[in-house]
Amino acid sequence: MPIYAYTGLTAQGRAVTGVIDADSPKGARLSLRRTGIFPTTVSAERAVQTASPASTISGLTRLFERVPARELALLTRQLATLTKAGLPLVECLSTLIEQLEHAALKRVLSHVRQQVREGRSLADALQAHPRVFSSIYINMVRAGEESGTLETVLARLADYSEDQARLLRTVQSALTYPLLMVVVASAILLFLLAYVVPQVTRIFSETGQKLPLVTRLLIGLSFFLADYWWLLLIVGASGMLVGARLFRTPKGREWCDRWLLRLPWVGRLLQRLSVARVARTLSTLLASGVPLLFALGIVTHLVSNTLLRRALEEACASVQEGESLAAPLKRSGLFPALFIQMITVGERSGELEGLLTRAAEAYDEEVATALARLTSLLEPLTILVMGGVVLFIVLAILLPIFELNQLVH
């Protein structure tokens, strides 16, 4: 059945947009009026012809909008609940489409439902939208369909999506306030040095007396910022451009990743973040019935650090040759001892996915604690730096005033 995108007005005058499947544009308009929506435009959406990863979806650029992690997690949880209730898959998708408010996700799900109606599997239908559904998501759904445990796999996938969304919120909330303070404080200081301080210090320059060193430094800095601010912008933009180009090269990316891992505190945090994601993803895939080698191949592409990714690729090759997973990871020297020990015990006991889940929980908690400490340190540190700069400005202004008073007396 064709899919139509529409815009319209409700009985209360509120503008709405969405998609609907109908036999014709006239049928779409009639269906919308029955639901209390008065359509203003109705246009046909072109259906997806193939579900391969390399397929081209013409005229559907809106399908490639990013979907927030929390929206996808909520969708997965609701789909798991509906399938567990025994509803047919098409009916589950229809129910979700009716209640969705995110326009891009609603449009994507409508095309998924259309392909399922045409006889495709859910995994193949999801595979046509790689910008919305990751390879982990698709392969877990495929494993659930092949094993007949789709509702169980969807529940695990919902747990995984919620955990990832929760971790992302933790990182964002921990870093947003300190970064905002730094940006606002820097903007205020630049304004003071470039516009306010020159007006005050010009009075001291006109007196002709010898000014203190701190005052001369402040005057020089303020005049430099006022006259050559454009030079600072050019240097900053050039540095960012050169850094971005260097980061795109394999050697530059490797050097940057190695440098980040060697940082005293940040390196440990980045390592724990990557290990937590690897452990949780691998555990979820194994528990869903995905073979270990295939799961390792998927997890490898999730790691952004080139050193950790190479270590996982070498581990995948070693496992393919019959070696254990723990041995190559230990040889790399890039993974924590607790993570290696958990894998070793899990391989011996046959409970690898369970121990990986425990490791992921431990590292998630460690990351959350570290971020909380970082936030508690950054706030007073920012205040101290701001106080030091303000003290420097105040001393630079007050010292000449004291000297003038002594000359008068």
Q: Which of 132-136, 324-328, 402-406 has the highest mean pLDDT?
A: 324-328
| 20 located within any domain | yes
What confidence score (pLDDT) does residue 55 get?
A: 38
d(CA 186, CA 270): 26
**Measuring CA to CA, which residue among 185, 188, 172, 193 is closest to residue 379?**
185
Residue 205 pLDDT level (bands cut at 50, 70, 90): low
The predicted model gives 254-275 an average pLDDT of 84
d(CA 351, CA 320): 20
| 399 located within any domain | yes
Are 41 and 4 contacting, i.e. CB atoms less than 8 angstroms apart? no
| 189 located within any domain | yes
* Beta bridge partners of residue 8, listed in sequence order: 16, 39
Q: How far is CA 6 from the centre of its chain?
A: 31
**Sequence letter at residue 260:** L
- How many residues are recorded in the chain? 409
What confidence score (pLDDT) does residue 405 get?
A: 66
User: By three-state DSSP, how is residue 41 classified?
Assistant: strand
**How far is CA 139 from each of CA 38, 132, 148, rounded to the nearest angstrom?**
40, 14, 14
Q: What percent of the chain has pLDDT over 70?
A: 88
What confidence score (pLDDT) does residue 54 get?
A: 36
**How far is CA 113 from each of CA 34, 93, 108, rounded to the nearest angstrom?**
22, 6, 9
Half-sphere exposure of 97 (CA within 13 A, CB side): 22
What confidence score (pLDDT) does residue 145 get?
A: 82
d(CA 19, CA 27): 13
The predicted model gives 100-115 an average pLDDT of 82
Q: Which of 63-67, 91-95, 165-169, 185-189 has the lowest mean pLDDT?
A: 63-67
Statement to judge: residues 41 and 183 lie in one domain: no
| 149 located within any domain | no
> Which pTM value belongs to this model?
0.61
Q: Tell me: pLDDT of 124 over 80.
A: yes
| 154 located within any domain | no
pLDDT in tens, 13-47: 777 776 666 677 777 777 777 777 777 777 776 54
pLDDT in tens, 79-100: 888 888 888 888 888 888 888 7
| 96 located within any domain | no
**Measuring CA to CA, which residue among 273, 267, 295, 259 is closest to residue 339?**
273
Please list, in sequence order, all residues whose beta carbon lies within 8 angstroms of the beta carbon of residue 223, skipping any fewer than 6 positions away: 198
**Measuring CA to CA, which residue among 84, 124, 82, 79 is closest to residue 105?**
79
Q: Which of 107-121, 211-225, 261-275 has the lowest mean pLDDT?
A: 211-225
Determine which helix (DSSP H) or strand (DSSP E) holds 5, and give its type and residue range.
Answer: strand 3-10
| 353 located within any domain | yes
**Sequence letter at residue 241:** L
d(CA 353, CA 213): 65
pLDDT in tens, 366-407: 887 887 787 778 778 878 887 888 788 888 778 877 776 665
Residue 207 pLDDT level (bands cut at 50, 70, 90): low
**How far is CA 277 from each of CA 92, 130, 357, 359, rounded to the nearest angstrom?**
30, 20, 10, 10
| 65 located within any domain | no
Q: Which of 44-58, 241-255, 308-322 has the highest mean pLDDT?
A: 308-322
Q: Tell me: pLDDT of 222 over 70.
A: yes
Residue whose structure tokens are 């000359």: 407
* Domain boundaries, position 17: 1-45
The predicted model gives 135-164 an average pLDDT of 79
Q: Tell me: pLDDT of 267 over 50.
A: yes
**How far is CA 31 from each of CA 210, 240, 271, rounded to the nearest angstrom?**
85, 53, 53
What confidence score (pLDDT) does residue 45 get?
A: 61
Higher pLDDT residue, 224 or 55? 224
- Whichever domain contains 294, its CATH number is 1.20.81.30
Q: Specify the DSSP class assigned to residue 132.
A: T
The predicted model gives 188-201 an average pLDDT of 74
Q: How do 15-21 and 37-45 pair as beta strands?
A: unpaired
Q: Which of 91-95, 98-102, 124-128, 190-194 has the lowest mean pLDDT?
A: 190-194
Residue 49 pLDDT level (bands cut at 50, 70, 90): very low
Are 393 and 200 contacting, i.e. CB atoms less than 8 angstroms apart? no
**How far is CA 69 from each of CA 72, 74, 105, 168, 218, rounded to the nearest angstrom?**
5, 9, 11, 9, 48
Q: Tell me: pLDDT of 1 over 60.
A: no
Q: Which of 345-354, 356-365, 395-404 has the lowest mean pLDDT?
A: 395-404
Number of domains in the chain: 2
The predicted model gives 48-72 an average pLDDT of 50
d(CA 75, CA 122): 14
